[in-house]
Chains A and B, each alone.
Chain A
Amino acid sequence: MAENFFLDNPDLQFRLQHLDLSEIVEIKEQGYRNHAQHPAAPRSYADAMENYRLVLEVLGEICAQVVAPRAAEADEQGAQFHDGQVEHAAATQDALRALRQAGLTGAMLPWQYGGLNLPETIYQMMMELVARAEPGLMTIIGLQETSSAINEFADEDTKARLLPRFARGELTGAMVLTEPDAGSDLGSVQTKAVLDEASGQWHLSGVKRFITNGCADVHLVLARSEEGSADARGLSMFVVERDETVRIRRIENKMGIHASPTCEVQYTNTPAILVGKRRYGLMRYAMALMNGARLAVGAQAVGIAEAAYREAATYASQRVQFKQPIAALPAVGRILLGMRGEIEAARALLAETGYWVDSLKAYEQRLAESEMPDPSLRQRQKQAANLAETLTPLSKFYATEMGNRVCYQAMQIHGGVGYMREFNVERHFRDVRVTNIYEGTSQLQIVAATGKLLGHALDERLAAWAAADYGPELAPLRQSLAEANALFLQATDVLKPQPRPVIDFYAVDLVQMAASLVCAWLLLQDARLDERKRLLARAYLAEYLPHIHSAGQALLAADAAALELLA
């Protein structure tokens, strides 16, 4: 069979098959009326699901046949910088052309702008496919997400001017937030935005650093619009269409994702368009942008992990030591099984998160459309918002830490040769390392998730999962997890009233515990549907239930003694 990264991945197909986006897609597709004007728009929910599958099939083919065979070349050559201009590696240019020709750019944009109106959940699957092939390329194509933010928040003129070009693949985007002294602490951004009152034109001046794809045509820039302010409330978001006032000063020499140019960008009196309302730049627009990007990076980590797992599994089945393939050694087999369980758990968690993010967007759209919204709709919108805000940092944390663990183990299985440049796993190991650093470090995800978890944001879902019927065979696993639920709630209540430094010290245990618990429930849900998943769920619970308990015990003790050592 011709190589295809979607068709060769039964777990990804399983995830797609068991998504229930029916309510979301009905809202997104205006009750399937879009088909009349747009021949590629679905005529029914079944039609939509088939179309999503076709999108993933087409992308899976390109990833396997065009992108992946040249991933090592893209890494070796990397993005280059000459005379103020960034040049993509030849392999990256060819890959971008293929994606453009296939019409896979701007895929989340609405039909009216030439997009495919795809839900976030499907988009994440696309990002996983691209990242499995070449994670540097994924950052460039993933930043198409900036066009979704423009669609959501920018004025009609800007949308009409830019979005069709994004959909045709003529424009690429960059989210321009970080500065030398404003990384995790974005509230201290210094780039200035000045309004010329007479003409109503904004201009930006300042330097941004670590800007992924900063050579893009369209920038979404976070800048200080309120003179004299010093915090997040003085920041606004701007669209910049790159011109000669935007200078790329250098690109970084990185450990991995070499095909992704990381730029230092200087704005000198650069014309800019305000997005949405002043002062909402960070809290509203940058957060929305980052939340989408965080899921995409989670998917990126899953994609790299998938590639590394396959390298390791193939190697272990071929490498003979002690007269047998090393995969037959229980110690090696256990590592491989653990990798697979974690990858499938992360994929399930991302799909669950995507579901709530898509639900939130769909309910918001319906609320905006209806004059007298059903009160239950507002209730469901609140529930979706709560879960999207909780699960997004949880997913980003879990998926990217998982990606690092899996690549570490994949190299371990290769032994000495895995440490050599000739083997792909060395590249995966370097590429995955950034995923738990950029788009908010794991430590920032923990902060974001902890606030929600201490507010009992997950209680309702945990209870619902525990109340479901899993059949007699899975009943003991359900019981164990229900007990883990109770321990989690108890631990939450113990931690909540503690002083802030104690909470921050133990937050990692709480978030790790929550992530493992949610993943275990999701795998148990899957186990009802599929024999293969049943075995996987058992193996995953056997491995991670003890971890959940140990984190729970640490939280129940919440021993402040360690903090004294830090003082």
Chain B
Amino acid sequence: MTYRSIVLVKQVPDTRHVTGEVMTADGTMNRSALPAIFNPEDLHALEMALQVKEQYGGTVTVLTMGPLQATETLRQALYRGADQVILVSDRKFAGADTQATSYTLKCAIDRLGAFDLVFCGRQAIDGDTAQVGPQVAEKLGVPQITYAESILSLADGEIVVQRAFERGTEIVQCTLPCLLTVTASANQPRPPSVRQRIACKEAAAPGEYPALLQKYPAYASAEALDADLARRGLKIPVWGAADLTVDESLLGLGGSPTQVHKINFVVLETTESKEIPPTPQGIHGLIEELVREYVIG
């Protein structure tokens, strides 16, 4: 049995490198001041999909919704072994909250046809909502397993997955097709393969052809480049609203019920301090308190 896997990934600003210059006066983020990266937990989702492919056979298709620059994330997926990548991109998709985003991704998955597994990262480091994966599952009408840490078995149309929580694990079983959101504890994502890195270095969406023609003057024209990339499987398809069966009122800003009303800076202040005596009893008391408050345990 082989499996058709779809991985949903997102290009995000690298919030690990937030500095004073990145935050604007109104409390929002100047995204252009931060490098764009592959959302870290999505790499774990991709790794899980690639491992399923290696173990059972099948295909891995990677989808991302975003502007043209998001092709870099798709190339990163190709370098790691994805079979097919698709950019879902249209001005009409812009300004989407999690609901409009998950609707758009659902429509793109519909166009792909039958699938067995959808993998998402648990959450993205920019919005931290962890909502898109679950909403896509809802809209596709398939079961979802969030916080997936490992696939314990996969056979006969059923999957058994271990879920990770702060204080333990849970093992669940469900039928295929289904959607998994994957945690960072799931695996060690593989690095790009150098052969793939070389073989896929020209992979591009048509919007990137002008830059590519400058870099590789050997191509006589955009048509010649397009034909060569298509022949070598390196042309990244771009699906816009017109390419999908969609209700346009549910897309982008107009399809987003979420409105940012106000952003507050929250400054955590030290209010009281407590001295713990450096004795076995003191330490024991501290541990008990931390367990009670669910800090450790």
Q: CB-CB contacts of A30-49 with B at 8 A, as 1s and 0s?
A: 00000000011000100000
* A51-B191 contact, Cβ under 8 Å, with A1-B35, A2-B14, A2-B37: no
What are the residues of chain A within 8 A of B193 when measuring CB–CB? 58, 101-103
Q: Are A102 and B201 in contact (CB under 8 A)?
A: no
- CB contact between B192 and one of A40, A58, A94, A116 (< 8 Å): that residue: A58
C-alpha gap A57/B201 in the complex (Å)? 12
A40, A98, A104: residue with the most chain B Cβ atoms closer than 10 Å: A40
User: A41 CB to closest chain B CB, in angstroms?
Assistant: 9
Q: Are A44 and B218 in contact (CB under 8 A)?
A: yes
Q: Are B201 and A54 in contact (CB under 8 A)?
A: yes
User: B196 CB to closest chain A CB, in angstroms?
Assistant: 8
Q: Are A54 and B198 in contact (CB under 8 A)?
A: yes
User: B104 CB to closest chain A CB, in angstroms?
Assistant: 28
- CB contact between A101 and one of B190, B199, B201 (< 8 Å): that residue: B190
User: A503 CB to closest chain B CB, in angstroms?
Assistant: 47
* A94-B188 contact, Cβ under 8 Å, with A2-B35, A2-B37, A50-B201: yes
- CB contact between B194 and one of A1, A44, A54 (< 8 Å): that residue: A54
C-alpha gap A166/B35 in the complex (Å)? 37
User: A381 CB to closest chain B CB, in angstroms?
Assistant: 30
User: B32 CB to closest chain A CB, in angstroms?
Assistant: 14
What are the residues of chain B within 8 A of A357 when measuring CB–CB? none
Q: CB-CB contacts of A50-94 with B at 8 A, as 1s and 0s?
A: 110011011101100010000000000000000000000000001
Q: Are B198 and A40 in contact (CB under 8 A)?
A: yes
Q: How many residues of B are in contact with the other chain, CB < 8 A?
A: 17
Q: Are A103 and B218 in contact (CB under 8 A)?
A: no
Q: How large is the interface on A (under 10, 10 to 19, 20 to 34, 35 or more residues)?
A: 20 to 34
User: Which of chain B's residues 188-211 have a Cβ closer than 8 Å to chain A?
Assistant: 188, 190-199, 201
> Nearest residue in B to A94 (C-beta to C-beta)?
B188
What are the residues of chain B within 8 A of A116 when measuring CB–CB? 194-195
Q: Are A40 and B191 in contact (CB under 8 A)?
A: no
C-alpha gap A54/B37 in the complex (Å)? 18
Q: CB-CB contacts of B208-230 with A at 8 A, as 1s and 0s?
A: 00000000001000000000000
User: B294 CB to closest chain A CB, in angstroms?
Assistant: 29
User: Which of chain B's residues 168-205 have a Cβ closer than 8 Å to chain A?
Assistant: 188, 190-199, 201
> Nearest residue in A to B80 (C-beta to C-beta)?
A101
What are the residues of chain B within 8 A of A98 when measuring CB–CB? 188, 190-191
C-alpha gap A94/B35 in the complex (Å)? 27
User: A34 CB to closest chain B CB, in angstroms?
Assistant: 12
C-alpha gap A66/B201 in the complex (Å)? 23
Q: Are B192 and A102 in contact (CB under 8 A)?
A: yes
- CB contact between B191 and one of A44, A54, A102, A107 (< 8 Å): that residue: A102
Q: Are B197 and A101 in contact (CB under 8 A)?
A: no
Q: Are A55 and B37 in contact (CB under 8 A)?
A: no
C-alpha gap A57/B191 in the complex (Å)? 11
> Nearest residue in A to B14 (C-beta to C-beta)?
A2
- CB contact between A62 and one of B14, B35, B191, B198 (< 8 Å): that residue: B191
Q: CB-CB contacts of A383-418 with B at 8 A, as 1s and 0s?
A: 000000000000000000000000000000000000
Residues of A in contact with B (beta carbons under 8 Å apart): 1-2, 39-40, 44, 50-51, 54-55, 57-59, 61-62, 66, 94, 98, 101-104, 107, 116
